[in-house]
Amino acid sequence: MKKLNHDSALYKAGLLGILCAVCGLLLSVANAITAPIIAENALATIKANLEEIYPGATFNDVTEQYIGKDETGLIDGIYEAEGKGYIFTLHGVGYNSNGFTFMVGFDNDGAISGYTALEQQETSGIGARAFEQEYSDQIKSLTSSDPIPLLSGATLTSTAVQKGIDAAKAIFNDLQGISYDPNAQAATPEPAKPQPLANEDYSSNNVTVEEISNDGKTGVYHCTAKGFEGTNEADVTIDLESGTITSIAVTAFNDTPGVGDTATTDAELARYSGKGLSDMIDSTTGASMTSRSLRAMAANALSLATGTELTPGTDSGASGSGIGAEDFSEREAGCVVYTNLDETAFVYSCKATGYQGVNKAYVTVDTTTGTVKSIEVTEFNDTPGVGDKATAAEELARYEGATLESTVNATTGASMTSASIRAMAAAALKMAAGN
Amino acid sequence: MSEKKAKKQSLFTRLLVENPVFGLYLGICSALAITTNINNAIGMGIAVTIVLTLSNILVSSIRNLTPADIHIPVYIVIIATLVTIVGMVIQAYTPSLYSALGAFIDLIVVNCIILGRAEAFASMNPIGPSILDGLTMGCSYTMSILAMSFFRQILGTGMLSLSNPFTNAEIFSIRLIPEGFELPFFKEQFGAFITFACLAAAVSAFKANVEKKEKSAEL
């Protein structure tokens, strides 16, 4: 071994320095080559799913960067689709204790671009509806500022979905600097307004009614109806003279204990006494399926006792004229809760098709009286000089105080635009009624 | 170990008697940890062989430039760099192997075999013999952990299987012990120690036998 000046400290430091520099260079070369492949591997498993929302996009895994902001622990992964938006993968627990995973995507401007289950084993036809087209279309029509509505009959599953999306919204909105009201309540358009007993559709309840006794004054009927998972049975006592229910007693309960049985408590059942076919009985919150089986039995017993046929789907209350009864199916009107001014005045952001484009408006509704307070057109896409006659301030003033039963005449010469405004007013009122 | 005597012995004997794991008790940590199936053993064996051979080449090639008192830091820098690069390559091209071996890839840095061979052989010998030494030691390390994982996989899972780490496609899989009769504790650390002890005892017995023969031959 040669040892010329090898013992000098300068030589040693120099040697180590050069060695470290060479090794550092080698490492950065190796990293440059392998890093993209490693990142791609990590994405490969999820990429097929991400492509469903943004086909052909370039994805970056930004989970590490942003997940620290998640306070709920529901977010599994965050992926950026370059120039398009963000996708969150999430998990939640609905009815099935194994839980489920799903993903939700937001466009950079805030619109929800996709919502799909990744893995779920919720009950088919019930909780699984939270991942089917109807609900997913509803979610995809929203933006990151909108509250996520629940799905009635699939409350447990859609609540878990709602919590997950709320967590994703919080991070996404923070990321994009979108301000929104995280505590806004979603309107639940699905249960609509409660219908009179005779008008509800009980076809899925497979109701049977059997007369047990009838002394001309009082009749007792033994009924069965399918609830959430099993068939419930009840004895319904009816006052034949007035055609109303005296009492209802549940004799067999086969739905989920602790869930469905909130609808069968004495207090809940007491709500049926004195009710006839034209009365409405509200669903018990959180037990809508069991509750409906009870209404199905009550209605069918009443129908048999009074000899009145049930008329599902027709609501006599709305059969008059009024904007609530008008057919706006071609307007494709829709509203979301925009904000509320106080506890009774809600502002709905609505849209509806007019003559050639989609018009948008803020409809303020007094929810206690179910009347329109004001309408403000925010976007007008019909023919200028023609359709905009219907959007003039004095025309819009005609909606003040309108309910679903009121008739609002079309603006002459702007009937299509006018119809779109009526459609939005009706949609907002219906939404407010369902609230 | 004298190099002269080693040359007289056959390659097989040399691999067994101078076996780093069972003969010299080096690199036992990874041998105990990752030998649950032969896939891991082959992957780890190849990784160690590559690092060992490359580090021997580098250490040997700068042996005349390295002052004695800084040789350990120099070796550590070289070995750590090689291990990190091998780790990156494994993670990029064989992700399944990477997740199976986990931290033990990074721990190749402190595998005594590599530092041991750099210190004991490569720093004193030219490049050619150092390459040969790296390959021999690497192969015998691979054989050792392969033997351990062979027994542990069969006894622990009742199966022997191999799959392609690049595609995860199964190459073969045979059941040797009927289901329900396997001994799952062989998959655990306890089973690793038992297997190691039995194999080390066998190698030790073989070594004693060889030495006895050599003595009688000398006489």
Distance from CA of B68 to the nearest CA of A (A): 9
Chain A residue closest in CA terms to B58: A19
Compute how many other C-beta atoms are within 10 angstroms of the C-beta atom of residue A264: 22
Which of helix, strand or coil describes residue B14? helix
Mean pLDDT of A199-206: 81
Distance from CA of A11 to the nearest CA of B (A): 9
Segments of chain A assigned to CATH 3.90.1010 = 59-176
pLDDT computed for residue B3 by the predictor: 46
Residue A189 has pLDDT above 90, yes or no: no
Q: For the ranges A202-206, A233-237, A314-318, B34-38, which has the lowest average pLDDT?
A: A314-318
Please state the φ and ψ torsions of residue A353, each to the nearest 5 degrees: -75, 130
pLDDT computed for residue A303 by the predictor: 86
A10/B contact by beta carbon, under 8 A: no
A9/B contact by beta carbon, under 8 A: no
Average pLDDT, chain A: 83
pLDDT computed for residue B126 by the predictor: 92
- Contact at CB, A27 and B81, closer than 8 angstroms: yes
Looking up tokens 């943004």, which residue turns up?
Answer: A54
Contact list in B for residue A26 (CB cut-off 8 A) is: 81, 85
Residue A80 has pLDDT above 80, yes or no: yes
β-sheet bridge partners, residue A209:
A223
pLDDT bin (cut points 50, 70, 90) of residue A187 is low
Mean pLDDT of B172-198: 88
Residue B119 has pLDDT above 80, yes or no: yes
Which of helix, strand or coil describes residue A152? coil
**Long-range residue pairs from A232-235, CB within 8 A, at least 24 positions apart, any chain:** A232/A264, A232/A290, A232/A293, A232/A294, A232/A297, A234/A294, A234/A297
Residue A293 CA to residue A262 CA, distance in Å, equals 13
Q: How many domains is chain B built from?
A: 1
pLDDT tens per residue, range B38-80:
888 998 999 999 999 999 999 999 988 888 888 889 999 999 9
A4/B contact by beta carbon, under 8 A: no
- Contact at CB, B77 and A20, closer than 8 angstroms: yes
Distances (CA, A) of B156 to A159, B35, B171, B180: 45, 11, 20, 11
Residue B128, both tokens: 């050619």
A216: left (phi over 0), alpha (psi -120 to 50) or beta: left
Domain that holds residue B64: 3-218
Identify the CA nearest to A391 among candidates A427, A354, A428, A426: A354
What is the DSSP track for A213-250? EE-SSEEEEEEEEE-SSSEEEEEEEEETTTTEEEEEEE
Q: Enumerate residues 6+ apart whose C-beta is below 8 A from B177.
A: B154, B155, B158
Mean pLDDT of A193-222: 83
DSSP run (H or E) holding B77: helix B71-93
Residue A378 has pLDDT above 50, yes or no: yes
pLDDT tens per residue, range A266-281:
888 888 888 888 888 8
Please state the φ and ψ torsions of residue A284, each to the nearest 5 degrees: -80, 125
Cβ–Cβ under 8 Å, residues A75 and A87: no
pLDDT computed for residue A32 by the predictor: 93
A11/B contact by beta carbon, under 8 A: yes
Looking up tokens 């609509």, which residue turns up?
Answer: A192
Residue A1 has pLDDT above 50, yes or no: no
pLDDT computed for residue A183 by the predictor: 73
A116: left (phi over 0), alpha (psi -120 to 50) or beta: beta
Cβ–Cβ under 8 Å, residues A353 and A360: no
Residue B112 CA to residue B132 CA, distance in Å, equals 18
AA identity, residue A149: P
pLDDT computed for residue A357 by the predictor: 83
Identify the CA nearest to B129 among candidates B93, A412, B120: B120
Mean pLDDT of A113-141: 85
Interface of B with A (CB under 8 A): 63-70, 73-74, 77-78, 80-81, 84-85, 88-89, 91-93, 95
Distance from CA of A69 to the nearest CA of B (A): 27
β-sheet bridge partners, residue A361:
A350, A377
pLDDT bin (cut points 50, 70, 90) of residue B8 is low
Distance from CA of B125 to the nearest CA of A (A): 11
Contact list in A for residue B67 (CB cut-off 8 A) is: 3, 6-7, 11-12, 15
Chain A residue closest in CA terms to B70: A12
Q: Which of A3, A27, A41 is opposite residue B85, by nearest beta carbon? A: A27
Choices 1.20.1250, 3.90.1010, 3.10.620, 3.30.1490: CATH for A59-176: 3.90.1010
pLDDT computed for residue B86 by the predictor: 92
pLDDT bin (cut points 50, 70, 90) of residue A194 is low
pLDDT tens per residue, range A224-245:
998 877 889 999 998 888 888 9
pLDDT computed for residue A319 by the predictor: 42
pLDDT computed for residue B1 by the predictor: 43
Residue A76, both tokens: 């599994």
Residue A224, both tokens: 């069965």
Residue B146 CA to residue B189 CA, distance in Å, equals 16
Residue A304, both tokens: 């048999």
Mean pLDDT of A422-435: 83
Is A168 buried (19+), middle (13-18) or exposed (0-12) by CB count in 10 A? Answer: buried
Cβ–Cβ under 8 Å, residues A240 and A305: yes
Distance from CA of A46 to the nearest CA of B (A): 15
Q: Enumerate residues 6+ apart whose C-beta is below 8 A from A333.
A: A350, A351, A352, A353, A420, A423, A424, A426, A427
Residue A405 CA to residue A315 CA, distance in Å, equals 13
Residue B21 has pLDDT above 60, yes or no: yes
Mean pLDDT of A180-200: 66
Residue A205 CA to residue A223 CA, distance in Å, equals 11
Contact list in A for residue B84 (CB cut-off 8 A) is: 27, 30
pLDDT computed for residue A202 by the predictor: 84
Mean pLDDT of A117-142: 85
Looking up tokens 């010469």, which residue turns up?
Answer: A413
What is the DSSP track for A16-48? HHHHHHHHHHHHHHHHHHHHHHHHHHHHHHHHH
Residue A233 CA to residue B126 CA, distance in Å, equals 93
What is the DSSP track for A351-386? EEE-SSSEEEEEEEEETTTTEEEEEEEEE--S-TTT
pLDDT computed for residue B6 by the predictor: 46
Q: Which of A1, A26, A34 is opposite residue B81, by nearest beta carbon? A: A26
pLDDT tens per residue, range A151-183:
877 888 888 998 999 999 888 988 888 888 777
pTM, whole model, 2 decimals? 0.51
- Please count the residue pairs, one from chain A and one from chain B, whose beta carbons lie less than 8 angstroms apart: 54
